[in-house]
Amino acid sequence: MDKEQKLRQEQTQSPGKVEKILIVEPDEQLTKRLHPFFRKERFLTKTVKRLSEAIRNIQQEHVSVLILDVDVNDMTWDDAVPIIKGLDPSLPIIITAAQNTPELEAHVLRQKVFYYHVKSFGTEELTLAIRNAMKNHERP
């Protein structure tokens, strides 16, 4: 049994809720950089490259936090956010972007997501946002 399988087994056997982070990210670099944080905090993670997969996951199982990159391919992130909010209005959505523009930032903020993260700023603020999102999300 590898380390990842062991962690999943421990989390499913331990009392309390399992915190699951769903990451919609076309580039795996962000997930790789955050992996030590996820392991330390004992969060389960699932990474998908398509929004349609993310929506299916949210319909089928509990997700504690959604991290969504603006550069996903199968549908636009701003079309997906209202659908996701319709499925789980309390789900914290963290939007990530490789490049920031004033127009993108304003558009993201109008969507009333939990947090907007520009990847070039590093991961420290993002990990803090994930912790805060976990604290604020109420499990159904």
pLDDT, tens only, 37-85: 888 888 899 999 899 999 999 999 999 999 999 999 888 999 999 999 9
18-136 CATH: 3.40.50.2300
pLDDT greater than 60 at residue 125: yes
Q: pTM value?
A: 0.84
What are the residue boundaries of the structural domains of the chain, listed by start?
18-136
Please give the pLDDT value at position 7.
46
Read off the pLDDT band of 106 (50, 70, 90): very high
Query: 88-124 burial, b if ≥16 CB within 10 A, otherwise e?
Result: beebbbbbbbeebeeebeeebeeeebbbbbbbeeeee
